[in-house]
Chains A and B, each alone.
Chain A
């Protein structure tokens, strides 16, 4: 009895050791044979692992775009997303030695990984990607967003139109109180005051607020803009020099004005914690009369349905940019901002056919028929060509709900909007023409040894205190001094100066 158990155990042990050795060698053999096979005609589809943050694709049987992509490029795209904790998962994958074949990074991550030599330099491959043209949105300035130390490490996602969010006002309330739509900051304040005090919904209860929005920037940014500055925390260029928006004198005036509005209770008390669509819902519910919202969130057909289901008598009018002491500006826009930076890990160099396939995929969805596929779907199923222009087939529109996930590098925004949301053209054509303040914050890297999160946290907290009057505005000089001394604002500005000179924004 005992002897057999000992023998059995010994066998088990040896088997495990042999199996583990076997596993290793077979995987090595696998990759070497893949390299040897370069005959394109009988090549199996190349498996590409793509990883980014965000919503995932629908189940395979409901995704009509993916099979087309795989067919056209002879690949098997494993499109994986992380709805939460993306950074943690990415770090584990990279540290564990199995980075995805192509993945998305933020600016900070891109710089970090480039320094650690984890990213593949894409500069030599760019000339082979024929769709990355300025006509398709890949201008020289745009491509700079993926450059670290002069090398192109990332392909950046193309920008949306600069301004998409504006103030909207409840027209039926304006009519009831016989007011006109506001065009200046003072008028905006007066209308908000009327909404709060004069019971525009006629129910006898003081339950109406003036202005609501999504968070600090999502509510107050247009007010700063009307004073001629970007919201606090941004790098602007004035007189060929980099300036920090928080330090400008106009910011002080804007904060005083906002404080005045908050003191008179004209702004939704919960505006700082609103997120998602909470501001839109408060507006639809009749809780606020002025909302700072994206045109799609007010005018998209399903949003209009939502609005009418709650109260069919409400009407919303889109407002022009407010004119204030600084001029007429709708909002600020970060010229260096991008939603996504696509990178390839350096370790993929050992599999050149994979690198080629990844770049072929990125190129495919950046222009030509690939772009049309991820934008609008399959010909004669989701769209048809009428007089040389694309017309969406309404019946199958629901199949394309996840299309934006497949638009890996984005799209040419105005054309896309005009084709897909043609009926709403008045709204986005309008916002597209609004004047805005350019900022360059995302072109600037964090200096060595500085932690941006601390500075941002401190700045955000103090600004809230100033705006709510918990700290007198006279102390703003002290606040700026703390930013410089404790949070090394000078180093940021020096870094910004250098970066923007290199990029040619300052002479």
Chain B
């Protein structure tokens, strides 16, 4: 039995190691190429895993170019402010909907689920955003998408699972609804806030589509739009032969700079993530 179990463990570990390597390998490549001057990369046949010469030139070029820091600021702004707005609005919507005695509760829930299945399309949404005057402002990336229906429903379920006795006890003591929400429910909801907050933040960090549809002003473009523009540079260098096409090292540096903050923050929030993924599903 022991030998069989050991063999089983070996096989499992081998499979897991293989899977881990296949995931780490591309990341290593990206980091390695971003740190190696491009001529070195080419000399080695265009493929380096362990950089032969380390140079931070590519990163320096990036941070010098005015566009990247500007885009970074925009992205950080919409991530931080956007997530706050998201959490605020979603909470304010989820909490009342979690109370069974709220009037028109079922109608509202039905409408919300309806929007999960059917959408207006790009043009009608654009017309609305235009009519509210958000076009070409940073808020176009925050306000139109402030409530994600899926996260709303998760939050609602979480609030439903909170014991009613808490609510009743607070009411007996004379607290208003707002006060209950702020001082009792919210502190107990940190796990769900962290989880949903993380989902929203990553969504904001990756903001691309809303940015290109609603914003034409190049100075308001977030990081991902700039990144996509850089990685797409290969089109027709003959027609515009004066352009300096970014080398692969530069492109890889762009990729690293765009993903680094999320990668750094993620391990700290991970414990909430694994807890929170289950939160919306299990009742009682």
Contact = CB atoms under 8 A, between A and B. Distances in A.
Interface residues of A, number: 55
A276 B237 CA distance: 6
Contact of B212 (A85, A96, A100): A85
B133 A23 contact: yes
B39 A310 contact: yes
A296 B237 CA distance: 10
B65 interface: yes
A56 B229 contact: yes
Contacts of B232: 83-84
Contacts of A49: 216
A97 to B, nearest CB: 7
Interface stretch (B85-93, B194-202, B239-247, B254-262): B239-247
A126 interface: no
Contacts of B123: 92, 95-96
A93 B237 contact: no
B218 A57 contact: yes
Nearest to A79: B218
Interface string B32-62: 0000011100110110000000000000000
B218 A96 contact: no
Given A84-B229, A89-B216, A404-B240, A285 B234 contact: no
B122 A92 contact: yes
A80 B217 CA distance: 6
B55 to A, nearest CB: 12
Nearest to A55: B243
B108 to A, nearest CB: 15
Contacts of A284: 42
A419 interface: no
Contacts of B37: 309
A324 B91 CA distance: 75
Contact of B126 (A60, A61, A80, A96): A96
Interface in A68-115: 78-85, 88-89, 92-93, 95-98, 100
Contact of A59 (B66, B225, B241): B66
A97 B127 contact: yes
Interface in B172-206: 176
Given A55-B229, A92-B122, A281 B46 contact: yes
Nearest to B233: A276
Contact of B245 (A92, A276, A339): A276
Contact of B66 (A61, A82, A92): A61
A56 to B, nearest CB: 4
Q: Which of B66, B216, B217, B235 has the most CB of A within 10 A?
A: B216
B115 to A, nearest CB: 20
B42 A89 contact: no
Nearest to A309: B39
A339 B239 contact: yes
Interface string B202-221: 00000000001100111100
A350 to B, nearest CB: 18
Contacts, number: 116
A281 B245 CA distance: 12
Nearest to A305: B39
A62 B212 contact: no
Nearest to B232: A84
Contacts of A55: 229, 233, 240, 243
B271 interface: no
A54 B229 CA distance: 8
A245 interface: no
A302 B39 contact: no
Contacts of A296: 241-242
A487 B45 CA distance: 43
Nearest to B248: A281
A277 B237 contact: yes
A224 interface: no
B241 A164 contact: yes
A62 B67 CA distance: 10
A297 B45 CA distance: 20
Contacts of B235: 275-276
A171 B206 CA distance: 48
A97 B130 contact: yes
B228 interface: yes
B238 interface: yes
A98 B135 contact: yes
Contact of A98 (B65, B130, B228, B230): B130
A64 interface: no
A17 to B, nearest CB: 13
A276 B219 CA distance: 26
A49 B217 CA distance: 9
Contacts of A383: none
A60 B220 CA distance: 13
A277 B42 CA distance: 12
A153 B38 CA distance: 45
A344 B50 CA distance: 53
A294 interface: yes
A100 B217 CA distance: 11
Contacts of B217: 78, 80
Given A59-B67, A92-B213, A277-B245, A165 B238 contact: yes
Given A55-B243, A58-B66, A59-B67, 16 more contacts: A1-B176, A51-B216, A80-B216, A92-B213, A96-B126, A100-B216, A164-B238, A165-B238, A276-B237, A277-B234, A278-B234, A281-B42, A285-B45, A297-B237, A297-B238, A311-B43
Interface of B: 37-39, 42-43, 45-46, 65-67, 70, 122-123, 126-127, 130-131, 133, 135, 176, 212-213, 216-219, 225, 228-230, 232-235, 237-245
25 contacts: A1-B176, A55-B233, A59-B66, A59-B67, A80-B218, A82-B216, A83-B228, A84-B225, A88-B212, A92-B122, A92-B123, A92-B213, A96-B127, A165-B238, A276-B237, A277-B245, A278-B234, A281-B42, A285-B45, A294-B237, A297-B237, A310-B39, A310-B43, A401-B244, A404-B243
Closest A-B pairs by Cβ, 6 of them:
A59-B66, A83-B229, A276-B234, A309-B39, A296-B241, A96-B126
